[in-house]
Amino acid sequence: MTNAAPATSQQTNQQIRESYDAFKTKGLKLNLTRGKPAADQLDLSNALLALPGVADFMAEGATDCRNYGGLQGLIEARRLFSGMMGAPADQIVIANNASLALMHDTLVFGLLKGMCDSTSPWLKQGEISFLAPVPGYDRHFTICEEHGVKLIQVALNDDGPDMEQVERLVADNPSIKGMWCVPKYSNPTGTTYSDAVIERVAKMKTAAPDFRLYWDNAYTVHHLTAEKVEIANIIDLCARHGNPNRPFVFASTSKVTLPGAGLAMFASSKDNVKWLLTRLTPRTIGPDKLNQLRHVRYLKNEDGITKLMDHHRALIAPKFNKVLDVFRAKLSDTPGVSWTSPKGGYFISLEVPKGKARRVVALAKEAGIELTPAGATHPYGKDPEDRTIRIAPTFPDLPEVALAAEGVALSVKLAIAE
Amino acid sequence: MTNAAPATSQQTNQQIRESYDAFKTKGLKLNLTRGKPAADQLDLSNALLALPGVADFMAEGATDCRNYGGLQGLIEARRLFSGMMGAPADQIVIANNASLALMHDTLVFGLLKGMCDSTSPWLKQGEISFLAPVPGYDRHFTICEEHGVKLIQVALNDDGPDMEQVERLVADNPSIKGMWCVPKYSNPTGTTYSDAVIERVAKMKTAAPDFRLYWDNAYTVHHLTAEKVEIANIIDLCARHGNPNRPFVFASTSKVTLPGAGLAMFASSKDNVKWLLTRLTPRTIGPDKLNQLRHVRYLKNEDGITKLMDHHRALIAPKFNKVLDVFRAKLSDTPGVSWTSPKGGYFISLEVPKGKARRVVALAKEAGIELTPAGATHPYGKDPEDRTIRIAPTFPDLPEVALAAEGVALSVKLAIAE
């Protein structure tokens, strides 16, 4: 049995192969690919499924949530998420269920129309680039790839993007119009930007007058420990340094309430909010206000969000800990292998020896464990060192997570042994 | 009192002015601008507000509607709207709450990426144009205006667009990539395209290989009479004539269930559906499936839709009839004035003598009645003849509709008398 004795560096290649083969015979079908909440997490918000109730549809300002209108979103919903977004209610827009759509659409609007401080639409300015701290989130990169925006990789250090690299690039190159940032509990490494890095990002000189931080604060309340990390307020800092229009802050309730039926939010300067609403006006008369009212009734206030996130943590922290336990037990002695121990978010990042990530993913697949394709953490799906593997432990149940982690560890050892 | 005696052509200008002034002293505040359902119509669907219920979230195919995924929409929702869309379920995409957003986004995708049969993105092909049958819907025109797509006006006859004009234009000009169509109970005239016109639209030769009909079937089940007009199936006809990718069919439940929280739908060829899903993939992981399940549970089947629309008709047909009664009583003898008597949809179109529409709208406003700005029914907000006024009678209650219609009639008469 693979879990009879901890693997050690003394294991022969033959023993590793035997352990892996034994694991394979279990015929498992496990999936560690996507950052999806598990069913027990979704159950936490089942109250939403009967809200707001047949007689509850009026919001503040005599707003009938059933009818057209209200492009910026309900005032009570904007107030509810004001703390989470780090902005006053009038600097928040609440949209339908996907913050990714807001990121996509604001980039498309930049290309076709320009930002509020652009001299012309980005498409008329030749090649446009975004900085991509790596490892990062594949769906961010895909938006740029889809629309021909060049991705320039920068290193993601333990305290955020390598700011010397970032500052040099944006100061020199006016074609760099943006940077993808997951400032807290980053996907996939769990990295949180230090206050010093956030301040440098807010005040750095950019050659492009219309440079934007795509500040995807996706995991802002998604703590895995009692520490509940807080980060500096990017909107305030950018304003203080004379760059009020720099940050586009995105978040959603996808991993707070329900991924399929949550709310997406945008926060920024007043000028950017006005710009976004102007761009959205030809597109829609307004978002689904009933779903906003539903969330207001259910979450009630910031304390409601905090309590709900504590319940999530109780369900998923053990899964992260299980993966880390298995990795510690099986991989601690394996040279060139390391992993992150995130304090929040949805991912663990596993680093294997150079040139081995794709092989690990293939071996895991053979053993019945689906992993995110190696390379997905880098632009164009190409990890130049073929080192990074993203582990998403939330969706399977705890025994499955344990098994899957073990299978991954065996796949790592075998890939190295081969 | 203005309603003491029917106005006749024998009225002196002095009498008209007196009637108008008397009306004005009522100090009314009425609004006939937007095609919004009234609160009693929204009440019909209040059951939605507590659906699907706390224990109901699983859809066919073991789909947990609470979680991520399902880009094309629930199969049961696509089946539910299959008749309404005139397409099998696999040729339907169900999105969030605004069909306008689908129209906007497909056009943007055409500009940035090209259609499935484009030789290159539309933006790389120089000037792009759309045909705009007039009078038409201002929000259609705004999408093109926002993105620099030129609008070429064609006449809307009693049986649809002037096909000789349309056929000549699209055969000659490869820059014409699309045409806006509201084929049934058109906004604002109530026009329904004849089967002969629809067949010609389906089979006409277009210089552009990637020409698209933006077929906004917004009022497909929105009957105002027992006749329940049916039109030819554009998807079938286009396929039969070898132009399967020509139609983009749009509809929504905005005026079936709830405008703020309905579903938007797209139907087309398999290739177009595949194209749309490919384009949507970088933008979102999927639509709000719970709202789709909510609609499936509430409407149940096509019969459910029919019965609900009968209830709507019972509430709004009297409002249309009231406007028509007042116009008949007050304006029948007024030269150069005519109006449509729609069999469905949300609007009456009022034609006044050339050069008078703006003045009528201004006079109505002075008298406390807000009307859609004259010109809104034409591209760039400019009605070259200044003749067409759109009347939207659904939102105010019946006594208000009667008063408003009277005020409009008085404004028409005064504008002519001046």
In A, minimum Cα distance to B38 occurs at A67
Q: Are strands A58-59 and A63-64 parallel, antiparallel or unpaired?
A: antiparallel
The answer, yes or no, to whether residue A7 has pLDDT greater than 80, is no
The answer to whether the peptide bond before residue B37 is cis (omega within 30 degrees of 0) is no
Residue A312 to chain B, least CA–CA distance (Å): 15
Among A51, A54, A66, A147, pick the best mutation site for testing chain B contact (most B Cβ within 10 A): A66
Q: Helix or strand or coil: residue A406?
A: helix
> A39 at the B interface (CB within 8 A)?
yes
Q: How many beta carbons lie within 10 A of that of residue B72, not counting itself?
A: 20
Which residues of chain A does B123 touch, with a Cβ-Cβ cutoff of 8 Å? 123
What is the reported pLDDT for B34? 81
Contact B101/A284, CB-based, under 8 Å?
A: yes
Mean pLDDT of A311-335: 97
Q: What angle do CA B322, B327, B331 make, to 5 degrees?
A: 165
The span from the CA of B413 to the CA of B334, in Å, is: 8
Q: Helix or strand or coil: residue B294?
A: helix
Contact B34/A100, CB-based, under 8 Å?
A: no
Helices (H), B281-387: 289-299, 302-331, 357-366
Contact B286/A67, CB-based, under 8 Å?
A: no
The span from the CA of B359 to the CA of B418, in Å, is: 10
The angle, 0 to 180 degrees and rounded to 10, between the axes of the packed helices B289-299 and B302-331 is 80
What's the length of chain B? 418
Cα-only R_g, chain B? 22
Longest Cα–Cα distance in chain A: 73
Residue type, A410: L
The band of A10, judged by pLDDT with boundaries at 50, 70 and 90, is low
Positions of E strands within A123-268: 129-134, 150-157, 160-161, 176-181, 212-216, 247-252, 264-267
DSSP A373: P
The answer to whether the peptide bond before residue B209 is cis (omega within 30 degrees of 0) is no
Q: Say if residues A80 and A94 touch (Cβ distance below 8 Å).
A: no
> B289 at the A interface (CB within 8 A)?
yes
The span from the CA of A123 to the CA of A147, in Å, is: 10
Tell me the per-residue pLDDT of B285-331, one tens digit each, with 9 for 90 and over: 999 999 999 999 999 999 999 999 999 999 999 999 999 999 999 99
Which residues on neighbouring strands pair with residue B370, listed in sequence order? B31
The span from the CA of B59 to the CA of B54, in Å, is: 14
Tell me the per-residue pLDDT of A207-266, one tens digit each, with 9 for 90 and over: 999 999 999 999 999 999 999 999 999 999 999 999 999 999 999 999 999 999 999 999
Contact A288/B36, CB-based, under 8 Å?
A: no
> B50 at the A interface (CB within 8 A)?
yes
Q: How many CB pairs under 8 A join A and B?
A: 167
- Residue B413 makes CB contacts below 8 A (sequence gap 6+) with B7, B11, B16, B19, B20, B330, B331, B334
**Closest residue to B290, CB basis, from A56, A146, A258:** A258
Which residues of chain A does B149 touch, with a Cβ-Cβ cutoff of 8 Å? none
**Closest residue to B285, CB basis, from A65, A98, A281:** A98
- Kindly state the helix (H) or strand (E) to which residue A348 belongs, with its residue range: strand A348-351
- Structure tokens belonging to residue A329: 């037990």
> B178 at the A interface (CB within 8 A)?
no
> A336 at the B interface (CB within 8 A)?
no
Flag residues of chain B having pLDDT under 50.
1-9
Return the closest-CA partner of residue A245 out of A225, A270, A216: A270
In B, minimum Cα distance to A279 occurs at B146
Among B57, B102, B138, B252, pick the best mutation site for testing chain A contact (most A Cβ within 10 A): B57
Q: Say if residues A368 and A29 touch (Cβ distance below 8 Å).
A: yes
Cα-only R_g, chain A? 22
> A98 at the B interface (CB within 8 A)?
yes
The span from the CA of B256 to the CA of B53, in Å, is: 21
Contact B67/A283, CB-based, under 8 Å?
A: no
* ipTM surpassing 0.90: yes
Hunting for tokens 């930007």 — which residue is that?
A193
Residue A354 to chain B, least CA–CA distance (Å): 29
Among B45, B283, B289, B298, pick the best mutation site for testing chain A contact (most A Cβ within 10 A): B283
The answer to whether the peptide bond before residue A52 is cis (omega within 30 degrees of 0) is yes
- Residue A337 makes CB contacts below 8 A (sequence gap 6+) with A331, A350, A351, A352, A353, A412, A416
> B66 at the A interface (CB within 8 A)?
yes
Residue A37 to chain B, least CA–CA distance (Å): 7
DSSP labels for A82-114?
HHHHTS-GGGEEEESS-HHHHHHHHHHHHHHH-
Return the closest-CA partner of residue B346 out of B264, B254, B410: B254
Residue B293 to chain A, least CA–CA distance (Å): 11
Residue B184 to chain A, least CA–CA distance (Å): 22
The span from the CA of A125 to the CA of A114, in Å, is: 10
What does pLDDT average to over chain A? 96
Return the closest-CA partner of residue A98 out of B193, B284, B318: B284
**B positions 347-376 inside 8 Å of A (CB):** none
The span from the CA of A143 to the CA of B199, in Å, is: 39
> B40 at the A interface (CB within 8 A)?
no
Mean pLDDT of A104-117: 98
Q: Say if residues B371 and B332 touch (Cβ distance below 8 Å).
A: no
Q: Helix or strand or coil: residue B224?
A: coil
Q: How many beta carbons lie within 10 A of that of residue B137, not counting itself?
A: 22
The span from the CA of A142 to the CA of B393, in Å, is: 46
Return the closest-CA partner of residue A261 out of B289, B102, B280, B97: B289
The span from the CA of A181 to the CA of A140, in Å, is: 9
Contact A68/B36, CB-based, under 8 Å?
A: yes
> B58 at the A interface (CB within 8 A)?
no
Q: Helix or strand or coil: residue B63?
A: strand
> B253 at the A interface (CB within 8 A)?
no
What is the reported pLDDT for B11? 77
DSSP A147: T
Contact A282/B104, CB-based, under 8 Å?
A: yes
Hunting for tokens 């990017």 — which residue is that?
A234
**Closest residue to B54, CB basis, from A50, A101, A290:** A50
Angstrom CA distances, B410 to A157, B143, B296, B326, B404, stand at: 73, 34, 46, 10, 10
pTM: 0.96
